[in-house]
Amino acid sequence: MSTSELASLVSRLENVASRLETIQPGSYNSAGGGDEVLSPFVQKYDLIINGPFNDFLQLSDKIGSDVKTIAEMVKKAVAVQKQFLILASKSQPPPQNTLMQLLQPTSEQIQGIQNYREKNRASVFFNHLSAISESIPALGWVAISPTPAPYIKEMIDASQFYTNRVLMDYKEKDKTHVDWVKAWLKTLGDLQMYVKDNHTTGLIWNPKGRDTSGGGSGGPPPPPGPPPPPPLLDLSALTDPAVDNRALLFQEINKGEDITKGLKKVTADQQTHKNPALRENASAKAPLVTGPKPFKAVPVAAPAKTPKLELEGKKWVVEHHKDNHNILISQTQMNQVVYIFNCVNCTIQVQGKINSIILDSCKKTAVVFDAIVASVEFINCQSIQAQALDKVPTISIDKTDGAQIYLGVNALDVEIVSSKSSEMNVMIPKENDYAEYPIPEQYKTKWTGRGIVTEVVEQKG
């Protein structure tokens, strides 16, 4: 080999080496048996996985127990989302129904994480589980347009209550838990910036990619041909009975006076108004004619809705519970509100000082609370009970039938405002028992010459 040929070969090898060095690690996908270059936005998603998310997984493994288990579930959800992003980088935007099918695996992973938290409410790491459960819907950004990045920020804010709890509980005890919170928030923060930079108005698809709605490279099968024509009718064999009947009718009418010759004379013994026996026989033989029975719609019971107990931002939501007397809300703050809706035969205990409580459309439900900053409200309720263990400035009762209000010693200065309600009683502590005082429902109004004066009608007897 000559010197010039050797120099040419070395130059070619150096060019190949420089090209290989420019390819970033992780830019190939080995799934499916062969390597393929990933889209740039998928490679950037890998940077989150290999960066703060990997730190989160290592810290979860160090904490162990339920935290490690839910972190493994999050790892699966992130892997499923990556595969979805790879599919989007190679495919055209699908129709809405196909998109929902493609997102089903991600949705199932998110639901599994939230169910795990609900099944482990007694866990010592419940705040950790809740921090993940409240924020994991951030992976649903792929279905949000035109502002997916702010949606992720909303999920971060939704988990803030629980992440702050973990920070407060372990700030002086174990730095691992503090770093765990920071790693998870860093993961979500980087995901928000990634979406903002790469999918500003929604998930980016490949307009030149394959069609995900065709069901295969060959396309859908052609539609079946039209059905064969019906057999021809033999019209010659058909006659119109209506035409024949009309012809016979006009033929009889044209007879003139002769038309009555075929009638028979009714004698006196055949007339019912002169023969009572005929009336009795006719009424006995005549069938009873009844009209069709009116249609009655069968009431269909509404499907039972899933009970709910969770913190949404600064509002505790308690909905659709039935026959549950063990509902406890203990991790409260002064700026939070408790909203109780459509609960039947339940007991809710609220611990700590909170801003307000609202009961809406509840039946046979009781609520026990400590201190209230603003008010307690009952709206559209039936047979409810409330017990104030500490200070409460105002209790409002609106469109409610049946309300028993038990006041503690520190709540005797409460103001009770009622409207369109009935059967209201206030229970005042007296020695070792309660004394019952009804809230007036009847009023007397008079014109004094200067204005209207309304007085309570006193109940006598």
143: domain CATH number?
1.25.40.330
Tell me the three state secondary structure of residue 74.
helix
Q: For strand 366-369 and strand 347-350, is the pairing parallel, antiparallel, or unpaired?
A: parallel
CA angle 323, 325, 329 (to 5 degrees): 125
Let me know: does 36 contact 29? Beta carbons within 8 Å: yes
Cβ neighbors of 340 (< 8 A, separation 6 or more) are: 318, 319, 348, 357, 358, 359, 360, 362, 365, 367
Quick check: 302 and 332 in contact, CB under 8 A?
Answer: no
pLDDT at 223 exceeding the cut of 80: no
DSSP H or E segment with residue 300: none
Residues ≥6 apart with Cβ < 8 Å to 92:
205, 206, 207, 208, 209, 210, 211, 212
143 inside domain: yes
Distance (Å, whole) CA 154 – CA 141: 11
Of the candidates 199, 221, 254, which is a domain's last residue?
Answer: 199
pLDDT tens-digit series, residues 338-370: 999 999 999 999 999 999 999 999 999 999 999
Flag whether 135 is in a domain. yes
Considering the domain architecture, whether residues 194 and 322 belong to the same structural domain is answered as no
The per-type count for the chain, helices as H runs and strands as E runs, is: 11, 16
Residues 6 or more apart whose CB falls under 8 angstroms from that of 31 comprise: 83
Strand partners, 78: none
Report the 10 Å Cβ neighbour count for 166: 20
pLDDT at 220: 45
Q: Is 126 among the domain residues?
A: yes
- Higher model confidence: residue 210 or residue 366? 366
**Number of structural domains found in the chain:** 2
Shortest CA distance to 77 belongs to which of 97, 98, 57?
57
What is the enclosing helix (H) or strand (E) of 264? Answer: none
In a domain, 205, yes or no: no
Q: Which whole number is the average pLDDT over 221-245? A: 51
Exposed/middle/buried for residue 84 (C-beta within 10 Å: 0-12, 13-18, 19+): middle
Residue 230's pLDDT is 55
The number of residues making up the chain comes to 461
pLDDT tens, residue by residue, 110-149: 989 989 888 888 888 888 898 898 888 988 888 887 888 8
Q: Where are the alpha helices (DSSP H) in 91-125?
A: 96-119
Distance CA 190, CA 201 (A): 17
- How many other CB atoms sit within 10 Å of the CB of residue 345? 15
Interatomic CA distance for residues 342 and 308, integer angstroms? 11
Among all chains, which residue has been given the structure tokens 């006196």?
268
Report if residue 167 sits inside a domain.
Answer: yes
**Mean of the pLDDT values across residues 186-197?**
89
294 Cβ contact partners less than 8 Å away, ≥ 6 residues apart: none
Assigned domain for 20 exists: no
pLDDT at 34 exceeding the cut of 50: no
| Domain containing residue 57 | 38-199
Q: What is the CATH number of the domain that holds 451?
A: 2.160.20.70
Neighbours of 401 (CB within 10 A): 15
d(CA 291, CA 359): 50
| 8 A C-beta contact, residue 151 and residue 141 | yes
* Span of 92-101, 325-334, 395-404, 434-443 with lowest mean pLDDT: 92-101
How wide is the angle at C-alpha 39 spanned by C-alphas 34 and 40, nearest 5°? 135
Strand segments, DSSP code E, in 271-408 are: 308-312, 315-319, 327-329, 337-341, 347-350, 354-360, 366-369, 372-379, 382-388, 394-398, 401-407
Strand extents, DSSP E, 361-442: 366-369, 372-379, 382-388, 394-398, 401-407, 415-419, 422-430, 433-438
The C-alpha atoms of residue 257 and residue 172 are separated, in whole angstroms, by 121
Q: Look at residue 250 and tell me if it is in a domain.
A: no
pLDDT at 167 over 50: yes
Instruction: Indicate if 314 and 185 belong to the same structural domain.
Output: no
Alpha-carbon 410 to chain mean position: 40
Phi first, then psi: give them for residue 236, nearest 5 degrees. -70, -25
Mean pLDDT of the chain: 79
Residue where a domain terminates, one of 199, 225, 246 = 199
Which of 96 and 53 is assigned the larger pLDDT?
Answer: 53
Given pLDDT bands bounded at 50, 70 and 90, which one contains residue 166?
A: confident
Looking at the domain assignment, is residue 92 inside a domain? yes
Listing DSSP states for 139-179 in one string gives GGGGG--S-HHHHHHHHHHHTHHHHHHHHHHHTTT-HHHHH
Identify the top-confidence range among 121-135, 150-164, 396-410.
396-410
Sign, CA torsion 195/200/205/208: negative
